[in-house]
Amino acid sequence: MNDAPLNDAPLNDAPVNDAPLETLALLMQANRLKTTPRTGWAQRGVPQVESVADHTCGVALAALTLAEIIPGNWDRGKILTMAVLHDLAESVTGDLSLGGSRLLPAGAKPVMEQRAMEELLNGLDFGPGWLATWREFEELGSDEARIVRDADRVDLLTQALVYERNTGTVNLDEFWRFAPPESFQFPQSRQLIEELLARRPRKTPNPQESR
């Protein structure tokens, strides 16, 4: 039995270099996602909106769940990596709402996010791999990417339903129009969205609209 103190044991044999500083810089920047609000909700009067980090957590869980209910031999490590990375660029750019994105020149948003990811991952040994995985998601380059794309929208509409139920906010139709059931990649995802739609609160007719 080895009775050597645990704190005397080396954690690994990796050489000492600047990697910890660069890694810490990434983690510090990514920490901003915890306080970066999802602006689309705020613009529609939802109080105490979720953060981008909240959404990322929801997407990761939704993606892992979809990987269980959609038949296939999925790379769950890749799925979780894509889910965690999919909005990482917003730690630099901030969150752009649907309306805000439409005001940008065509193609500007993807270019901006690409540059943000390159800046975040610059100098990291694992940076090229992460960047390639993020691009694969953006380009829907694999079935795993398609699962995460569905998960992104499943979490969006789950949150929309929660806000409509809990806050009485009734002006979230734009989000449901953005991601109708037919826009999802897999039938299992579409079934989830149809169930969410069935659970939406019924609106009280506005007398002014009936005139």
Q: Do residues 98 and 179 lie in contact, with contact meaning Cβ atoms separated by under 8 Å? A: no
Q: Do residues 33 and 91 lie in contact, with contact meaning Cβ atoms separated by under 8 Å? A: yes
The beta strands (E) that lie in 51-136 are given as none
- What pLDDT is attached to residue 106? 76
Extents of the domains making up the chain:
36-199
Task: Tell me which amino acid residue 57 is.
Answer: C
Angle in degrees, CA 191, 88, 40, rounded to 5? 60
- What pLDDT is attached to residue 207? 39
Q: Do residues 37 and 51 lie in contact, with contact meaning Cβ atoms separated by under 8 Å? A: yes
Q: Which residue has the higher pLDDT, 155 or 13?
A: 155
Q: Residue 76 is encoded by which pair of tokens? A: 């769950």
User: How far, in Å, CA of 188 to CA of 30, rounded?
Assistant: 32
In this structure, whether the domain defined by 36-199 belongs to CATH 3.30.420.40 is answered with: no
pLDDT category of residue 168 using cuts at 50, 70 and 90: confident
Over residues 129-149, mean pLDDT: 98
Q: Which residue has the higher pLDDT, 18 or 188?
A: 188
- What pLDDT is attached to residue 204? 46
Task: Tell me which amino acid residue 182 is.
Answer: E
Q: Is the pLDDT of residue 89 over 70?
A: yes
